[in-house]
Amino acid sequence: MKMTVKTSEVHTRHRQPMTDTKLLMLIAIGTFIVMYAFAMIFIGKRFLTIKEIFNLLNNNAYLIILGCSLTIVMIGGSIDISVGGVVCLSAMSCAKLLQYLQAQGIEGPLGVILSLLLALGIGLLFGIEQGYLVSYLEIQPFIVTLAGMFLSRGVTTMVSSENVPIKHAGFQAFKSIALQVPNVFKLELGAAIALLVLIGMYLLLRHHKLGRSIYALGGNRQSALMLGINVKRSRFLSHVISSVLAGLAGYVFIMHASSGKTSIGLRSEMDAIAAAIIGGTLLTGGVGNVFGTFIGVMILSTIQEIMAASKVQESYWQEIASGALLGFFIMLQSVVLSGREKRRAKKNTMVAAEVKG
Amino acid sequence: MLQKRNSRKADLSQLIIPLAALGILLLFNLIRGIVIGDLRFFSIGIGENIYGNTVLTGNLISIIDDASALAIIAMGMTLVTAACGGQDISVGAVGAISGAIFINVLAAFGLDKISVGTILVALLAATAVTIIFTLFNGTLVAVFKIQPMIATLILFSCGRSIAYMITGSATPQLNDPLINAIGKTIPGIPIPTPIFLVVIMGLLLTLIFKLTNLRLYTQTVGINQGAARLNGINPVIIKLLSFVILGICVSLAAMIQVCRLNQLAHKTLLDAIEMDAILAVAIGGNSLGGGKFRLSGTILGAYIILMLTNTLNDMNVSADSIKAYKAIVIIIIVIAGSPGIKNKISELWKKSRSRSSKAMAGR
């Protein structure tokens, strides 16, 4: 009984900022619809089919998982820019392991399980290291994860600096599992995993004690501490979850690409942060939603498709466009936030006047 | 009097970390050199370069020479860190833009008609454009109050694309004695020119700090922005000013690097320098959370990083893997300087002191 009272308290405390998130998320959904309509009109036929939406899902499955991992750390008021490197390291290590197992003649499902465990294990190691440094030693998360980014990229080149193709039979069979109706749609296993992660993260953040305490921690660390929430443990766990998801994203990546390269996930941390911000996750923490992040990923991937379809050869336009979009949404957030602060200040003065009166 | 001495002591204590790191690196190389019987690391000599000039050669000189661009950028980064409590991670990408402008202006005058005048014009144009870009970052940080690293993430990710847009795929070659004079050595002077540029930039900033209140204001804004505002300091102006100085540093560093390599490669110019610059600021004993800073520590930090890179290169570590070792070094440094560890050390210190004072009282 006591517990329910507590969660409802946390809930009402966040009711007011939720209106701003809804506004930001509505803007994101609007942007997506406008962009998709633009694609339909100017690029034509291809975007009119259901297949195209599922293609977007299949191609960006790993980015959806990364978006979830960034959302959870950002809600907790922290940041993780090592995810791109961790994706690369886990993908490369899995590719190398599968190659080794194939050479040893172990071609069955054992290879699939071992490589998945390796991917999650790499994520777990990075998560524990970064989470410990950020939450228990109180070092700036940006510095810790920047070091993590360079560490993972450096270690990747030690694992292998060349492309590692995967020809492991068991893995090939595993990755070609797909839910499909020919010529209508096709949902690859990787995309299905990404959607499951999305739903799982939503449930965790909304209905689990840990998720609620991460919201409280990001909203106001001091009050979270006074509510009796173990602030350090929550932040630590948010980093662990983020890095484990990054490891999983690496695994999903090789399920789509079926080879390990050193260029995997280059700048994907930036895409993931952009997706989270576009979807309405506040940089200051405490506010956000994984479904918003999902919309953010879809917006970014639609831009990518438009750029590819409009035959812009140089990839630089794509980077500039997503950079400009990120800049726009960051400024939008800042404006919304300052408006909220002003409203709050006004309300406070009104309350004070009433008390005086 | 006592207070003054104490503050001086506190100032110098900032240099303990860099000096210790320098000592460890030198000692490591000395021992390694003796073990493998090759003290090449410490070699300094006089030789002739391919242009027939007498120059100082040797490993130590080349380390100091290589560190020039990094040292200059790190100086600007120190100021931004002190004022904003965060770092600009777009310096490499903005440097690429600056280099592109520099080359384009030179090419507009004609690459075969390079003179001191055209170089100055090109540098001024590049500096102006760079300042516009860093001011964009600065506005996001100071006016819109966005964390510096997120704000600069925008240019970090698309800056090199902008540089590519400016120059296109062409990589013009610069083969001119004047360009070599900037990037390598001036005929008749044995010391490489970039080293002079570092000294000039350092002296200039020191002079500014001595003549104006900029150092005090920057530190005040970094330590407590609200208090600074109540004392009549405008935090927005101070933060923007730190980004302007960073812009000047970046364009100077980009020019040095372009002149050293005799060409512009928009993808590799000043690649990954943001990591090194942050590392230099951290090794220099400056707080990465803003506030007090010391330029000499940062410059020392830049030389230490190049020394580390050089040592690892010497041990046949591949260029890509060096990143991992540097990351480990940065992790060790931030752990050593973290609040948690500091508290523990000061607790231990207090305990031992109280124990010794008790022992004294007992006696």
Q: What is the pLDDT of residues B277-332, one digit of tens each?
A: 988 988 888 888 888 888 999 999 999 889 888 888 888 888 778 888 888 887 88
Taking only the tens place, the pLDDT of each residue in A207-259 is: 999 999 999 999 889 999 999 999 999 999 999 999 999 999 999 999 988 88
At residue A328, the pLDDT reads: 87
| B288 vs A: CB within 8 A | yes
Count CB neighbours of A34 within 10 A: 11
**Token pair of B335 as six digits:** 């752990």
Contact A143 B275 (CB under 8 A): no
pLDDT greater at residue A118 or residue B85: A118
User: For residue B281, which of B13, B10, B24, B18 has the smallest C-alpha distance?
Assistant: B18
A280 pLDDT more than 90 = no
Contact B323 A151 (CB under 8 A): yes
* Sequential DSSP letters for A34-49: HHHHHHHHHT-GGGGS
Matching CATH number, A2-342, of 3.30.360, 1.10.3470, 1.25.10, 3.40.50:
1.10.3470
Contact A142 B149 (CB under 8 A): yes
Q: Which residues of A touch B152 (CB under 8 A)?
A: none
> What CA–CA distances, in Å, run from B335 to A143, A265, B297, B339?
11, 28, 18, 9
Query: What does the pLDDT average to over B244-256?
Result: 95
* Sequential DSSP letters for A234-292: HHHHHHHHHHHHHHHHHHHHHHHH-EE-TTTTTTHHHHHHHHHHHTT--TTSS---HHH
B357 pLDDT more than 80 = no
Q: Are A89 and A156 in contact (CB under 8 A)?
A: yes
Taking only the tens place, the pLDDT of each residue in B17-45 is: 788 888 888 898 888 888 887 777 777 77
| pLDDT confidence bin for A81, thresholds 50/70/90 | confident
Q: Which residues of A touch B328 (CB under 8 A)?
A: 147, 151
Q: Which helix (H) or strand (E) holds A185?
A: strand A185-188
Query: What does the pLDDT average to over B91-115?
Result: 89
Residue A234 exposure: Cα atoms within 13 Å on the Cβ side: 27
A65 pLDDT more than 50 = yes
- Which residue in A has a C-alpha nearest to residue B159's C-alpha? A320
| pLDDT confidence bin for B275, thresholds 50/70/90 | confident
> What CA–CA distances, in Å, run from B85 to A212, B150, B261, B286, B289?
29, 13, 34, 11, 4
pLDDT greater at residue A179 or residue B47: A179
Domain B56-316 has CATH 1.10.3470: yes
Contact B339 A314 (CB under 8 A): no
Q: Are A274 and A322 in contact (CB under 8 A)?
A: yes
How distant is the Cα of B331 from the closest Cα of chain A, in angstroms? 7
The pTM score is 0.83
Q: Are A18 and A205 in contact (CB under 8 A)?
A: no
Contact B154 A157 (CB under 8 A): no
At residue A263, the pLDDT reads: 85
At residue A315, the pLDDT reads: 67
Query: What does the pLDDT average to over A255-280?
Result: 87
User: Which residues, numbered 147 to 176 in chain B, qualify as contacts with chain A under a Cβ-Cβ cut-off of 8 Å?
Assistant: 147, 149-151, 153-158, 160-162, 164-165
| B332 vs A: CB within 8 A | no
| B277 vs A: CB within 8 A | no
> What CA–CA distances, in Å, run from A313 to A41, A318, B145?
21, 10, 36
Residue for token digits 């970094």?
Answer: B222
